[in-house]
Structure 1
């Protein structure tokens, strides 16, 4: 590995053509645990984006000709360097995102696993026909310049998944972090300059105007976007004007169906964790919990008792599980959703009120058997409020689980594996789990059905989304 100096996590710059640059105007994110300003970051202009696109186009000519092995070697060296700076990244991630240090470290660990895992996937040519006279081959060739629009909930892992998928398949990429969480992404790309040619991986910090510049730019050939359904629709409409390739990973409202034969004491810690990790700000967290009526009362009592043991506090404090939600916008959305507890006469089994604090803290809340039509069931909260609902009939609960326009993930929990898989086969989502939830891997595709997205990230199918299919008809003579 190239001898690389440790990163300085006190200053943050754009990365254009492997040079660290700044802008005449700067802005800063907010530490959600105390609402204090984080360090200044650039506010990129159209001129900055044009320079980055020009550099990416120039770099693409050479990078597209490199071998998978050359790309893999560079990616592995980058992963090693991230590992060497993991403490600085974890501290910075907690500062900007709010999640506890343990969860920041978990995200960083997943990140380097994803780099190495994605770069291990083989992308073969397919020989469709071969005779004495001709050969027909399907190849997968890089698209060109990719724009990556990254969300604020998992800013490291989701940025890296897009970066690796793009450059491993021979593209160049420009990363646009969320304005709420630009810091780690700027440092990831600064670190990448040690291992990749100029223009291959770049990063631009900006305000809300920068995303539309990406989707409108005629020389960005593909957009990979992770974020809300509403914004995803705008991204798709904008990409249509230049017929960009587009991958959309959008919101979810994941149901988990708990059957009456489960071992309650065994699964309660799993369900509690998988409903509230990252303060429930993960698109694939459990967000609707359907529990069989035979075990409902005991399950609810034990889930409440477990969640009460999880500490709420700043992410830098020992043993914290619940940090703040990430930003004021999300905090206000959560408060509005919490107001429906009173207006709809819902019954909190835990929490239910938001107290004033120095940060964007929301107490973990469980709603006892609300109506299916209630907002806490129908809306994706992206905050720690969980409805738990009774069911008795298998066909009916599957219909309820599938009723929404989202379809990202879902799960069934039962000791009867045949029953669980039969139910799982009928769930309408991009990922379905039996006796788990939120299991992910770099070699497995991840995406949504219905309004939860288009296309997938990760796995071979995800990598092919960063390629154009090319069919070659190779005649051996005229």
Structure 2
């Protein structure tokens, strides 16, 4: 099997312990990754701490390095994207898009103009807010968009003057190892480090005394553990913890127009997207027409190996998630729901599940109340719009939501009532480097992206100079 190495303090590092990386299209190992132990983690933290002393001093140098890193990564897309498809499962064209997105985020933060924050400048005093880097950042990334979501942490953290130790998911370590190797061609030693391993390594990172901030993307249960561990020595935290995004279709919507868009919003990355539509509320009189439009899309979908250019949707990334999606669908069916499309795993090697549209699923069942994170979508009728809004908000999640309407002003008025960090009208998951991203309630703590993301990697210092 191909050997992949960690990058620590600018040098490649292997480990005596390695773990298998599974290709979700086959369900079989296709490579191994090194598993970091306590000594390796200590070395990574120490290297990042040493690099911080000089990296924090020169903003212009940081901007130039990020631009060079973006260019190097763009040149490496043909090498990294196929690796991402092999370990994550997404179609190759989407993997290419994801790697290119990392370059976009790096370029955005390199070009970001950070305005001075002068609070007072008069005869009495000059008072300015100065943004100071926090120090070493522990960044823990998920398996659904392992490269793009890690860049949401790496790019603003480095631009602000911090150094980073990254841990990718054990399901998708290889593309992250390759990405960091490329980025380090443009970065000084120790500025960006990557260690690989399982949950025990993540716990060790959050408990380690060196990092002053933890930026984590993952499940609510894991995020709570990160918060508790970080509180022991008052580390700063940013937590992006997923969602159960509702979509509300208004009574003036045209099912023929919105069907394709709704399907795409729900099934992007095979539904393995924290910001994907997870449940759809539809007026009773439009219910059947919307369902028919979604079913038509599901039946046309091509599910297969992401390396096949005909594939639109790859496999579910890993066996535990595959089993969870199957259990949620089976539970819905046993509770009276009906699969009008899909509803079963596909009879082939790997973790393939048919795109599934469910009717008759009720609020209070797991497929509606929880984040399924897979290719299954319940469609739920409503009679009263106020009731639909209340049901959409009756969740511990609050990441994203969308409203679908012909009258866009009315759609916006409904969107503003939804308890979500992002609320869209006639679109969903419209994300960009300059737009803040975060959630309400259990969907997270803090904000990523834009100037807000940059500032989240800084401590605020007030400099007050009395004038004579």
Structure 2 counterparts to residues 251-290 of structure 1, below 5 A:
251-290=242-281
User: Given the alignment, which residue of 43, 48, 64 partners 1:51?
Assistant: 43
The answer on 1:322 being equivalent to 2:288 is: no
For the residues of structure 1 that align with 2:199 and 2:232, how far apart are their CA atoms? 20
User: Which piece of structure 1 moves more, 28-37 or 120-129?
Assistant: 120-129
Cα deviation, 1:323-369, whole Å, max 9, x if unaligned, reads 11000111111122122133212111111122443101111111113
For the residues of structure 2 that align with 1:306 and 1:153, how far apart are their CA atoms? 22
The answer on 1:249 being equivalent to 2:226 is: no
Q: Check conservation: 2:436, 2:452, Cα contact below 8 A.
A: yes
The residue that corresponds to 1:309 in the other structure is 300
Q: TM-score under structure 2 normalisation? A: 0.98
The answer on 1:37 being equivalent to 2:17 is: no
Q: Check conservation: 2:19, 2:33, Cα contact below 8 A.
A: yes
The answer on 1:114 being equivalent to 2:105 is: yes
Cα deviation, 1:289-343, whole Å, max 9, x if unaligned, reads 1112222111111210122111011111122112110001111111221221332
The residue that corresponds to 1:92 in the other structure is 83
User: Given the alignment, which residue of 215, 218, 221 partners 2:212?
Assistant: 221
The residue that corresponds to 1:25 in the other structure is 17
Q: Give the paired residue count.
A: 468
* 1:225 aligned counterpart, secondary structure: strand
Cα deviation, 1:271-294, whole Å, max 9, x if unaligned, reads 111110111000000001111222
Deviation at 1:159, TM superposition (A): 1.0
Structure 2 counterparts to residues 144-159 of structure 1, below 5 A:
144-159=135-150
* 2:199 aligned counterpart, secondary structure: coil
User: Given the alignment, which residue of 139, 152, 156 partners 1:161?
Assistant: 152
User: Given the alignment, which residue of 174, 186, 191 partners 1:195?
Assistant: 186
The residue that corresponds to 2:444 in the other structure is 453
Structure 2 counterparts to residues 421-432 of structure 1, below 5 A:
421-432=412-423
For the residues of structure 2 that align with 1:133 and 1:372, how far apart are their CA atoms? 61
Q: Check conservation: 2:140, 2:169, Cα contact below 8 A.
A: yes
The residue that corresponds to 1:3 in the other structure is none
The answer on 1:358 being equivalent to 2:349 is: yes
* 2:464 aligned counterpart, secondary structure: strand
Q: Check conservation: 2:402, 2:427, Cα contact below 8 A.
A: yes
For the residues of structure 2 that align with 1:189 and 1:347, how far apart are their CA atoms? 45
Question: Structure 1: which 5+ runs fail to align?
Answer: 1-8
User: Given the alignment, which residue of 367, 374, 396 partners 2:365?
Assistant: 374
Structure 2 counterparts to residues 295-444 of structure 1, below 5 A:
295-444=286-435
For the residues of structure 2 that align with 1:444 and 1:118, how far apart are their CA atoms? 12
The answer on 1:206 being equivalent to 2:219 is: no
Deviation at 1:58, TM superposition (A): 0.9
* 1:173 aligned counterpart, secondary structure: strand
Structure 2 counterparts to residues 459-470 of structure 1, below 5 A:
459-470=450-461
The residue that corresponds to 1:185 in the other structure is 176
Cα deviation, 1:98-141, whole Å, max 9, x if unaligned, reads 11112112212222122212332222221111122311111111
For the residues of structure 2 that align with 1:103 and 1:20, how far apart are their CA atoms? 29
The residue that corresponds to 1:124 in the other structure is 115
Deviation at 1:10, TM superposition (A): 4.6
- Tell me how large the CA RMSD over aligned residues is: 1.3
* 2:171 aligned counterpart, secondary structure: coil
User: Which piece of structure 1 moves more, 50-59 or 116-125?
Assistant: 116-125
Q: Check conservation: 1:30, 1:38, Cα contact below 8 A.
A: yes
For the residues of structure 1 that align with 2:22 and 2:355, how far apart are their CA atoms? 22
Deviation at 1:240, TM superposition (A): 0.5
Q: Check conservation: 2:72, 2:185, Cα contact below 8 A.
A: no
The residue that corresponds to 2:282 in the other structure is 291
Cα deviation, 1:76-107, whole Å, max 9, x if unaligned, reads 11111111111111100100001111211221
Question: Structure 2: which 5+ runs fail to align?
Answer: none
Q: Check conservation: 2:72, 2:186, Cα contact below 8 A.
A: no
The residue that corresponds to 2:226 in the other structure is 235
Q: Check conservation: 1:125, 1:140, Cα contact below 8 A.
A: no
* 1:251 aligned counterpart, secondary structure: coil
Q: TM-score under structure 1 normalisation? A: 0.96
Deviation at 1:37, TM superposition (A): 1.0
For the residues of structure 2 that align with 1:389 and 1:247, how far apart are their CA atoms? 33
Deviation at 1:59, TM superposition (A): 0.7
